[in-house]
Amino acid sequence: MTESLRTARDSERQSSQRETGATAVDQRACPECSGTIRPDQDTSERTCTDCGLVVAEDDLDRGPEWRTHSAEESAQRSRVGAPVTALQHDHGLSTTISWQDRDANGNALSPEKLRRIRRLRTWDERFRTKSSLERNLRHAFGEIERMGSALGLPEPCRETGAVTYRQAVDDDLLPGRSIEAMATASLYGAARQHGIPRSLPTFATVSRVDKLPIQRAYRYLSRELGLGIAPAHPLDYLHRYASALEVNTEVEQLARDILDCGEQQDLHVGRSPAGLAAAALYAGAQLCNEHLTQATVSDTTDVSRLTIRNRYQELLEVYGEETS
DNA sequence: ACCTTATTCTATCGGAT
DNA sequence: ATCCGGTAGAATAAGGT
């Protein structure tokens, strides 16, 4: 019932109808059963899709490179400098002059210095936004920031939107299109890539343009940039759902088999991968005589009971033929 | 720009264990 | 009493003309 589950499911639904290709799969095969290795979505583990063996974990330490001995000390430490951000047209690397008429100590400036500072500000502004391209980016990024915070999209997502927009500009996709629509479309795509999509009408409410231009801009963007919105696979959900449902490994393994079987019969085409994963788990539990109700699965996976029912019936049908 | 198509969701009810 | 299965109608997204 978490937001992440819900949104991930939505993103699946959106991408599944169009894209049935394989997801990114690790080159190596599983040492135990020579199955396929697939990166888990929310941990950094790589797991075998057949036997569930955890093959590798991301062993990079992404924590700070210093250490501290107390909480206060830890709080005082910080990485040096502001992070580089894609959300500013100059990546946040240029100097900024404060808007306050005060010096470093917080004292008011003398009239003479004030004049100089104001003059500097003017030139700084001219320097930072010297071309129409940069004004364009400033405008667009401002919009992305505004809409992103209005929709509660996290920082990394907004940055992705900004990167996408910059790509669009670099590829000359902008001429003839509105900055607003493109910026909105970029953010829309970014949200989907981050697995936290908002629907188009939702975007239309915070954007200054209507739903249709956004839709058109997004399609254009997606086609021209080849955005490759994460093509999803039911197996990407299986382990997470299995953990959330606290089923034993036997059930999970069975669910994998069922999914494999269904995939060979092209049952996954056009269907929500999340729904398939949930249904496979339910089916697996049934076959193992595990007590697991449709309602429970539906609640934990945020897939409707109806969908689970329809999918699991189909899955069992082909699975029964396969095994009999 | 409009319309069609496929899927899923919510709401609801009847039957079975 | 709870769980399962089926149906109807609405919403949503993608694609074609």
d(CA A46, CA A57) in angstroms, rounded, equals: 6
Write the pLDDT tens digit of every residue in A116-136. 888 888 887 777 666 777 788
What is the reported pLDDT for A295? 92
pTM, two decimals, is 0.59
A18 touches strand B (CB under 7 A): no
Q: CA(A15)–C1'(B6) in Å?
A: 13
Give strand pairing partners of A54: A47
Q: What's the CA gap between A13 and A291, in Å, rounded?
A: 28
* Continuous segment of H or E residues that includes residue A244: helix A234-245
User: With 90 as the cut, is the pLDDT of residue A193 above it?
Assistant: no
CA of residue A303 to C1' of nucleotide B3, angstroms: 29
Residues in chain A: 324
* Cβ proximity of A35 and A25 under 8 Å: no
Question: Does A295 contact strand C, using a CB cutoff of 7 Å?
Answer: yes
More confident residue, A320 or A22: A320
* pLDDT, tens digit, 9 for 90 and up, residues A235-256: 888 888 899 888 989 999 999 9
Residue A39 has a pLDDT of 63
Q: Which of A8, A5, A33, A3 is nearest to A195 (CA)?
A: A8
Residue A226 phi, psi (nearest 5): 55, 55
- Is there contact between A303 and strand B, defined as CB under 7 Å from any strand atom? yes
Percent of residues, chain A, with pLDDT higher than 90: 12
**Residue A24 confidence (pLDDT) above 70:** no
**How far from the centroid of its chain's Cα atoms is residue A257's Cα?**
28
A270 contact partners, CB below 8 Å, separation of at least 6: A16, A17, A20
Parallel, antiparallel, or unpaired: how do β-strands A54-56 and A26-29 relate? unpaired
> What does the block give as tokens for A223?
């086609």
Say whether the CB atom of A41 is under 7 angstroms from strand B: no
> Residue range A163-176: average pLDDT?
82
The encoded tokens of residue A68 equal 């501290």
Nearest nt by C1' to A308 Cα: B8
Distance CA A86, CA A101 (A): 29
* pLDDT given at position A43: 56
Q: Is the CB of A49 under 7 A from strand B?
A: no
Q: Which two tokens stand for residue A124?
A: 């700084």
Q: What is the DSSP string of A250-303?
A: HHHHHHHHHHHHHHHTTTTTTS-HHHHHHHHHHHHHHHTT----HHHHHHHHT-
> What are residue A39's DSSP bridge partners?
A46
Mean of pLDDT over chain A? 75
Among candidate residues A232, A242, A256, the one with its CA nearest the CA of residue A36: A256
pLDDT at res. A5? 41
Q: What is the pLDDT of residues A219-233, one digit of tens each?
A: 888 777 766 555 568
- Checking each nucleotide's C1' against the CA of A9, the nearest proves to be B8
- The reply to whether the CB atom of residue A199 sits less than 7 A from any atom in nucleic acid chain B is no
**What digits encode the pLDDT tens for the residues A256-312?**
999 998 888 888 888 888 889 999 999 999 999 888 899 999 998 889 999 999 999
Round and report the angstrom distance from CA (A80) to C1' (C14): 46
Nearest to A48 by CA among A252, A291, A322, A285: A252
CA-CA distance, A230 to A12, in Å (whole number)?
A: 8
With H, G, I as helix, E, B as strand and everything else as coil, classify residue A37: strand
List C-alpha distances in Å: A197 to A72, A108, A143, A158. 38, 47, 18, 12
